[in-house]
Copies of this chain bind each other. A is one copy, B any other.
Amino acid sequence: MATQRMILGVDVGGTNVVVGTVPEDGSTVHGLRQVKTRVRNGADAVVHQIETLIGESLEATRRTVGDTFEVAGVGIGAPGPLDTTRGIVLLTPNLGWRDYPLRDRVSATVDLPATLDNDANCAIFGEWWRGAARGASHVIGLTIGTGIGGGIILDGQIYHGSSDIAAEFGHMTIDSTGRQCGCGNYGCLEAYASGTAIAARARESAEAGADTNLGQFVDGDLSSLSAAVVYEAASRGDELALEVIKDTARFLGAGVSNLINIFNPEVVVICGGVTAAGDRLFTPLRAEVRRRAFRPAVEGCRIVAGDLVGTAGVFGAVAAFKVQTWGAA
């Protein structure tokens, strides 16, 4: 029986670390493992978590497919900014790392070749490789969770820009005199349409006396309101929650229209927690984009939710390993 080649995918986030074992054709993922990121104990502790998860994932994979596989290496996705060539995390506000050689630490720990790429880039690359954007040559994606990240996939490659910091779609200005963003700038898309901003807008309106049952979802403590609660309340018909999602579609529509006018892509794929809002978000989003962007560019472009919920980053990290190692995914 022929030996199958597998690649480990590692998705390091501020909340979770996810690891899976993926056959090189990307047909599935074996031994998917996820733990809370041990943020407080520093970067070496996270490398230790990755080592443990890799061991567990390989063990689970062996139980599934037997011993008939070899492991080519480890693709890692992590928050940036990064230096992908040197495999270094330059700075992660969420994790508190600075100039950390994540790629080589993981590689040395598990004695396998490794590559490093940006987590949002990997998520969108995963959707291109095995998900909702499969087969497209011009793919733009947004990952909308706590913040907003982005990815640009052109001709089957991640577009990195001149120093690995391209695709910062969250900090696109959509209202130059608007709401202040965590980055200090005013009117960034992230200040309106991230999970954090969605929760904040809902909270502000509820506190201002809007007609809503949102308080019941959080035992009356509006300070603990999250975007997920807003989506849940909307699904139960809460007026304010529905309004907040409609507004989100409008803001996001301005940002997506900009990206469509700039890139003329075949697909815009939207990943992350926000996709839980479903058609309540996507229907008005598509309408806003039709209103705003160039008609021929809109007509040639699908706007879709990501397929690979929870695993896009793992698949994308594997695809990025393939590109960095062999030239193509």
CB-based contact B161/A265 at 8 Å: yes
CB-based contact A166/B251 at 8 Å: no
CA A262 – CA B162 in complex, angstroms?
A: 11
CB-based contact A162/B265 at 8 Å: yes
The answer to the question of A185 belonging to the interface, with a C-beta cut-off of 8 Å to chain B, is yes
CB-based contact B81/A168 at 8 Å: no
Which A residues between 127 and 149 are near B, CB-CB below 8 angstroms?
A: 136-138
CB-based contact A165/B81 at 8 Å: no
Stretch from A45-53, A68-76, A100-108, A288-296 forming part of the interface with B: A288-296
Which A residues between 77 and 128 are near B, CB-CB below 8 angstroms?
A: 81, 90
CA A265 – CA B152 in complex, angstroms?
A: 14
Q: Which residues of the other chain, B, contact A136 by a CB distance below 8 angstroms?
A: 162
The answer to the question of A257 belonging to the interface, with a C-beta cut-off of 8 Å to chain B, is yes
Residue of B138, B187, B262 touching A168 (CB-CB under 8 A): B262
Stretch from A29-37, A169-177, A223-231, A311-319 forming part of the interface with B: A169-177
CB-based contact A81/B173 at 8 Å: no
Interface centre among A81, A154, A161 (most CB of B within 10 A): A161
Q: Which residue of B lies closest to A139 (CB)?
A: B162
CB-based contact A262/B172 at 8 Å: yes
Q: Which residues of the other chain, B, contact A246 by a CB distance below 8 angstroms?
A: none
Beyond the given pairs A168-B297, A185-B257, A258-B258, 7 more chain A to chain B contacts, judged by CB atoms under 8 angstroms and listed by A's residue number, are: A136-B162, A162-B264, A165-B296, A172-B262, A173-B292, A185-B292, A187-B254
User: Can you list 27 pairs linking A and B with CB atoms under 8 Å apart?
Assistant: A136-B162, A138-B161, A152-B262, A154-B154, A160-B264, A161-B264, A161-B297, A162-B265, A162-B266, A162-B300, A163-B264, A163-B297, A163-B300, A165-B264, A165-B294, A167-B262, A168-B264, A168-B294, A171-B261, A171-B293, A172-B261, A172-B262, A175-B177, A176-B251, A185-B291, A187-B254, A262-B262
In order of increasing CB-CB distance, the 9 nearest A-B pairs are: A161-B264, A166-B264, A168-B261, A176-B254, A173-B254, A138-B162, A165-B264, A172-B258, A162-B266
